[in-house]
């Protein structure tokens, strides 16, 4: 290999103008760098440093982007999405508990009353609420004091239902025989009904448990990634630096060919291939994860909206039963103001109009289920079909929910970046750095020997 040493001094300065201007004097280290960079070894060293720095930045931004993708996916899949789904489930369970309590404790139209109370379904609902709240407390990212508030409200709710049950039991036991001599039953009020109303208040006022848990859900929902989220700023930096690095590789190849007559440097070709691989892989992974995250968030919304629909049906069924009680003028439990299922059902209310109900499941899966829900919400079902009408609607909605769960799991699995991708990126970068050194260090040694 023929080596042509370049020991030319830097180009001579331009001629001094007639009027001497006061010249800005660069700092010593800049002047030293300029004079050194003017020589071939200086240029080699500058190229080496610039390429190593670019490789480092490309590597770091790539690793950081992948780590970002992984963290966001893991947080969404393991924490935010389960919290949002659990919060929506708490609404379903509380609404159903209240429905079951009213069904179990109010007398029938014929005035008959059971002494069993709300029974196992109510207990199961309450236990499930406690478990769902505990999970939400563990996984929730924000608004955790609201979980405590819901817990406190639930304690009061359970206390009121227990009181209703106690009075219902007394009334059931004394049915047919007046236990209070001298009392006129037509002038007395059924306290089990009153306590059911108090219990409903714990759930359904504007700051009741249903509204609080909905607020908690919305706060955590806002922590799910926005549509089209990705580590785009990092990718822009990486692709820019990757392009610069490719430019440096081309520049280095031209420089080596001119000064050292090397037609093609295999090391530089390898570096270019690695840079394209790193940038391409990172970009492809980001796009893929971003799409999967969108799908995961969409599925989370679908599942929670179906929960909202189930809660709505349970509350409607409860109100049909409660409102039928002869001594009660109207339910004093007011619907919560904050009941919006944010993205899919902006017009959702606890008691939607028929038009709102029609839109409720728009974009959801089943027109048949939507129709069933709309029919159920628009008017109380016939007396002989009451129990089965609610159960039919709830079963259909639950079935739809269950159909969505595998899609949700798949979306989160798809969103997770390939295992060990960060380490592969780092290994590739180390390889690129090694090839850079192999390309430049022997040339520098040749200069050192000859000098």
Partner 1 sequence: MTAARSFLAGLCALAVVLGSTSCAGGSPSRTVSVLGTWVGDEGNLFVDEVLKPFEKSTGIDVQYEGTRDFSAVLESRVRDGDPPDLALLASPGQLQQYAQDGQLVPLDGKTSGIQLDRIRAEYTPAWLHSGLATDAGGIQRQFGVVVRGKRKNVIWYSQAAWGRARLAQPRTWEDLVKVTGDITSSAPLASSGSAWCAGLRDSSSSGWPGTDWIEDIILRDAGADTYRSWYQGTLPWTSPQVQNAWLAWKRIIEVSPAPQTTTGMLLDGIQYGEEEMFHNPPACYLRRIGYLQTSDYQRHAADFGYFDLPPAGGGPQNIEIAGDLLTMFRQSDQAADLVNYLTSVEAQDVWVKPGGAISPNKRVTAYPDETTNSLAQSVNDANLGNVVFDASDAMPLTMRNAFYQAVLEFVAEPDRLPAILKNLDVVRCQAYPEAASLHGCP
- Point out which residues bind partner 1 (CB under 8 A): 28-29, 32-33, 36, 148-149, 152-153, 155-156, 163, 180, 182-184, 186-191, 194, 197-198, 201-202, 207, 327-329, 332
Q: What is the DSSP string of 416-432?
A: SPPTTHHHHHHHHHHHH
Q: Which of 211, 400 has the CB closer to partner 1?
A: 211
CB of 220 within 8 A of CB of 87? yes
Dig out the tokens for 438 from the structure: 């192999």
Question: Closest approach of Cβ 183 to partner 1, in Å?
Answer: 4
User: How far is residue 210's CA from residue 215's CA, in Å, rounded to a whole number?
Assistant: 9
Question: Closest approach of Cβ 250 to partner 1, in Å?
Answer: 25
User: How far is residue 27's CA from residue 106's CA, in Å, rounded to a whole number?
Assistant: 91
Question: Closest approach of Cβ 181 to partner 1, in Å?
Answer: 9
User: How far is residue 203's CA from residue 90's CA, in Å, rounded to a whole number?
Assistant: 11
* Residue of 339, 331, 334, 347 lying closest to 311 (CA atoms): 339
Q: Which of 332, 353 has the CB closer to partner 1?
A: 332
* Residue of 193, 183, 290, 300 lying closest to 232 (CA atoms): 290
* Residue of 197, 199, 124, 125 lying closest to 161 (CA atoms): 199
Dig out the tokens for 204 from the structure: 């359904």
Q: Which of 40, 308 has the CB closer to partner 1?
A: 40
Q: Which of 209, 408 has the CB closer to partner 1?
A: 209
Q: Which of 332, 409 has the CB closer to partner 1?
A: 332
CB of 78 within 8 A of CB of 408? no
Question: Closest approach of Cβ 52 to partner 1, in Å?
Answer: 12
User: How far is residue 111's CA from residue 371's CA, in Å, rounded to a whole number?
Assistant: 34
Question: Closest approach of Cβ 4 to partner 1, in Å?
Answer: 26
Question: Closest approach of Cβ 356 to partner 1, in Å?
Answer: 27
Q: Which of 24, 29 has the CB closer to partner 1?
A: 29
Give 218's strand partners: none
Dig out the tokens for 100 from the structure: 């079951």
Query: Where would I find the beta strands (DSSP E) of 328-445?
Result: none
Q: Which of 111, 182 has the CB closer to partner 1?
A: 182
Question: Closest approach of Cβ 215 to partner 1, in Å?
Answer: 14
Dig out the tokens for 361 from the structure: 């499941």
Q: Which of 20, 187 has the CB closer to partner 1?
A: 187
Question: Closest approach of Cβ 332 to partner 1, in Å?
Answer: 5
* Residue of 344, 356, 248 lying closest to 300 (CA atoms): 344
* Residue of 131, 98, 85 lying closest to 322 (CA atoms): 98
């Amino acid at each position: 290999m023929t080596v042509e040493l370049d020991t030319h001094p830097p180009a001579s300065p331009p001629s001094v103008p007639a009027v001497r201007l006061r010249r800005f004097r660069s700092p010593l280290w800049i002047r030293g760098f300029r004079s050194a960079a003017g020589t071939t070894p200086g240029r080699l060293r500058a190229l080496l440093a610039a390429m190593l720095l670019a490789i480092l930045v490309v590597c770091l931004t790539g690793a950081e982007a992948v780590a970002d993708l992984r963290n966001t996916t893991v947080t969404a899949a393991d924490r935010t999405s389960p919290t949002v789904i659990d919060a929506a489930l708490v609404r379903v369970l509380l609404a159903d508990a209240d429905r079951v309590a009213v069904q179990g404790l109010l007398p029938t139209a014929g005035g008959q009353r059971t002494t069993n109370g709300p029974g196992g379904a109510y207990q199961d609902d309450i236990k499930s609420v406690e478990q769902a709240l505990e999970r939400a407390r563990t996984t929730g990212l924000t608004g955790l004091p609201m979980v405590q508030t819901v817990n406190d409200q639930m304690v009061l709710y359970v206390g009121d239902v227990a009181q209703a049950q106690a009075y219902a039991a007394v009334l059931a036991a004394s049915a047919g025989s007046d236990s209070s001599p001298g009392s006129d039953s037509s002038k007395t009020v059924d306290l089990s009904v009153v306590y059911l109303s108090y219990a409903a208040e714990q759930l359904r006022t504007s700051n009741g448990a249903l509204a609080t848990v909905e607020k908690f859900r919305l706060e955590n929902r806002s922590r799910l990634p926005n549509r089209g989220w990705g580590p785009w700023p990092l990718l822009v930096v990486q692709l820019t630096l990757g392009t610069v690095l490719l430019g440096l590789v081309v520049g280095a190849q031209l420089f080596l060919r001119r000064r050292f007559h090397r037609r093609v440097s295999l090391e530089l070709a390898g570096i270019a291939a690695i840079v394209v691989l790193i940038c391409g892989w990172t970009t492809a992974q980001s796009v893929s994860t971003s799409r999967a995250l969108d799908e995961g968030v969409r599925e989370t919304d679908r599942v929670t909206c179906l929960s909202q629909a189930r809660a709505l049906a349970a509350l409607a069924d409860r109100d049909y039963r409660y409102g039928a009680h002869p001594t009660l003028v109207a339910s004093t439990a007011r619907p919560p103001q904050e009941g919006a299922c944010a993205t899919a059902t902006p017009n959702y209310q606890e008691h939607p109009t028929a038009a709102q109900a029609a839109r409720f499941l728009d974009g959801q899966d089943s027109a048949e289920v939507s129709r069933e829900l709309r029919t159920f919400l628009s008017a109380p079902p016939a007396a002989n079909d009451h129990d089965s009408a609610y159960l039919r609607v709830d079963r259909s909605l639950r079935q739809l929910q269950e159909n969505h769960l595998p899609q949700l799991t798949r979306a989160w699995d798809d969103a997770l970046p390939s295992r060990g991708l960060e380490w592969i990126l780092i290994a590739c970068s180390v390889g690129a750095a090694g090839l850079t050194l192999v390309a430049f260090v022997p040339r520098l040694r040749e200069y050192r020997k000859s000098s």
